[in-house]
Each structure stands twice: as C-alpha cells, then as structure tokens.
A = this chain, B = another copy of it.
Amino acid sequence: MNKPEGAPGPFERLQALLADDLTRVNDLIAARMASEHAPRIPEVTAHLVQAGGKRLRPLLTLAAARMMGYEGEDHIRLAATVEFIHTATLLHDDVVDESTQRRGRPTANLLWDNPSSVLVGDYLFARSFQLMVETGQLRVLSILSNAAAVIAEGEVLQLSAAQNTKTGEDVYQTVIRGKTAALFAAATEVGGVIAAAQEAEIAALRDYGDALGISFQIVDDLLDYGGVSGLMGKNTGDDFRERKMSLPVIRAFAAADAEERAFWVRVIDKGDQRDGDFDAARAMMDRHGALASTRDTALARAADAKAALGGLPDHPLRDLLSEIADFVV
C-alpha cells in the first residue's frame, strides 16, 4: 500500500475525496481518546492512532455511506468506532505476539508495558462501543458487536492454529476472517445501513469489505515472506519467527516431500529455528509455487471484491473502491 512515484494512487485520491469527513473523524478520535483521570490513555493511544495509521477502515465506512447518499452525522461516529476497534486489537495483538515493532516504530508494550497495552485496548474498545451506541441504530450495533466476537474468536483460534503444521486452509480462512475481514466487512456494511441502502446493496457492500479484507490479509502474509517486491513497513520474517501458519506455509507444507515436512515440523511445531532456515523456507515455497499460488488467491479475492461492487450504483467512490481492490494486491 505504499505510494508509487508520480500520480497519486487510489488510496490518496480516496483520502482527498473524503478529506473533510476524515478531518472530522480524526477530531472525534482525538476527543474520545482523551481521559479525564488517566493521562496514560491518550499517550498510548496517540502513539498508535496518530502515527502512521492509514485510516483504511474508517475510509471504507465513510466511502460506503457517502456512495449511498448518506448526509447525516453517524458515518463520522462509525468511522471513529472502527478505528478504535482496530487500534484496540493492535494493542492486544502486540501483547499476544510479544511484538517490539509496529508500523516501523516501537510498540506500545515496549514503550510502556503489557498492562498498559491490555488496559488501554480495553478502554478503546469501550469507547468504540459508546460511540456506536450514540448512533442509536440497533442494526449497526448488532453488526459491530457480531464483528467484535468474530475478531476475538479468530484471534483465539490463531493461538492454537499457530505452531501447528496440521492447520489447514479452512482454519486459516476462519482466522483471517476474524483477524481482518470481519472488521472490513462491518465497516462497509454499516455505511450502507445508516444510508438506508437497499438490502442487496448492503449485502454487496458487506461482500466487498469481506473479500477486500481477505485479500489484504493474504497480501500481508506474502509480504512477510518477501512475496511482494518493493513493499516496506513490515518486518519480513516476523510470521516465520512467530511460527504462524500463514497461507504460503500451509501450501508449501501441503506440497512438501518427507524431508521438507520434517523441516516444517522442526521450525513450526517444535520452534527449533536456526540460521538460514528462513531462506530455506522461502526456497521451498518457490520450489512448490506456494508464493505464486498465494498471490493468485489474493488476486481472486480482489476480483471478488470488485465483482461485489457491480451491485452498487455508479459513483466516483465506487470506482475508487474498485481501484483500491486492485491496489491492495
């Protein structure tokens, strides 16, 4: 998602088209991450929210609502809601993964401590909940509370799916739906709901967000094995070190011969990783075309996302969302 040289990409054009709304979202985020009593909350939150975040999820909500003709105020609240949920999950993920870097900067759990990350995450989750309640729209509350449950379930499932070469593509799908696609899908769906779009349009928006989120996460998996050239900002090899069963690993393992299977069991299940193992893993992926086939899957999901947009009316924002699906992969 880096900016190419020259002309602005679809993401920058989306930001520009929704600049006024986005400013209001950022103001609301700043206002609501304040805490009368606990100054550590805005400190920790600012570290994450104000630095480097591309606001992709809130932009999806704003775009969906505006595209469907929404003229009220709730899209601002809901865009801030999804960013708060996202930030809360990042804070908790960093504790779970014992990460030390996020978006190229030290993580909050490194700068402060794990308790701060856990509890500030809880605070942001509660704040997100207050914001969505302010919309007074029960259907929106239902969508977002269901998404929150799917997210947490996917994260728990990932705990047992990681470090286990028995993890297959079914479990992987459930994990990444929780990790990424559930919030993308909710972000676009609630935009359609508050705009009182037709049911088929709301479903199309949801399908777009879901497919985009899956594609986005698969690309993220690829980046970790250097499977996409020229893209930065993520530490290549993190997933390998954390012994995650991402899609390239699942596919390389499925195609592995006996010697390769022993390698994967050693580095993933047993966690016995040595110098050169990461390069060996990438070589095995190349040998079986695991990175190429993973890339194909990401492209197929991006195509699904674009196809879903076919059910929506003509609109410049629709065209930009379509370009973003291409851009993600």
Are A133 and B126 interface neighbours, CB within 8 A? no
Are B149 and A130 interface neighbours, CB within 8 A? yes
Interchain nearest-CB distance for A316 vs B (Å): 34
Closest to A174 in B: B37
Chain A residues touching B, majority SS: helix
Q: CB < 8 Å: which of B37, B96, B146, B153 contacts A123?
A: B153
Residues of B within 8 A of A157 (CB): 37-38
Are B123 and A38 interface neighbours, CB within 8 A? no
Interface membership of A136, Cβ < 8 A = yes
Interface membership of A35, Cβ < 8 A = yes
Assembly CA distance A206 to B136 (angstroms) = 23
When all copies of this chain in the complex are counted, the total is 2
Q: CB < 8 Å: which of B35, B96, B120, B142 contacts A119?
A: B96
Interchain nearest-CB distance for A318 vs B (Å): 30
Residues of B within 8 A of A142 (CB): 130, 133
Residues of B within 8 A of A41 (CB): 153, 156
Query: Which of A110-118, A207-215, A233-241 is the contact stretch?
Result: A110-118
Are B138 and A118 interface neighbours, CB within 8 A? no
Closest to A115 in B: B96
Residues of B within 8 A of A77 (CB): none
Residues of chain A in range 204-250 having any CB-CB distance to chain B below 8 Å: none
Interface membership of A145, Cβ < 8 A = yes
Q: CB < 8 Å: which of B114, B123, B138, B145 contacts A126?
A: B145
Residue interface mask A76-98, B partner, CB < 8 A = 1? 00000000000001001001100
Are B38 and A122 interface neighbours, CB within 8 A? no
Interface membership of A141, Cβ < 8 A = yes
Interface residues of A (CB under 8 A from B): 35-41, 89, 92, 95-96, 114-116, 118-120, 122-123, 125-127, 129-130, 133, 136, 138, 141-142, 145-146, 148-149, 151-157, 159-160, 171, 174
Listed by A's residue number, 30 A-B pairs whose Cβ atoms lie within 8 Å are A35-B156, A37-B154, A37-B174, A38-B157, A38-B159, A38-B160, A39-B160, A40-B156, A40-B159, A40-B160, A41-B156, A95-B114, A95-B118, A96-B115, A96-B118, A96-B119, A115-B159, A119-B159, A120-B156, A122-B148, A122-B152, A123-B149, A123-B153, A125-B152, A126-B148, A126-B151, A129-B148, A130-B146, A130-B148, A141-B141
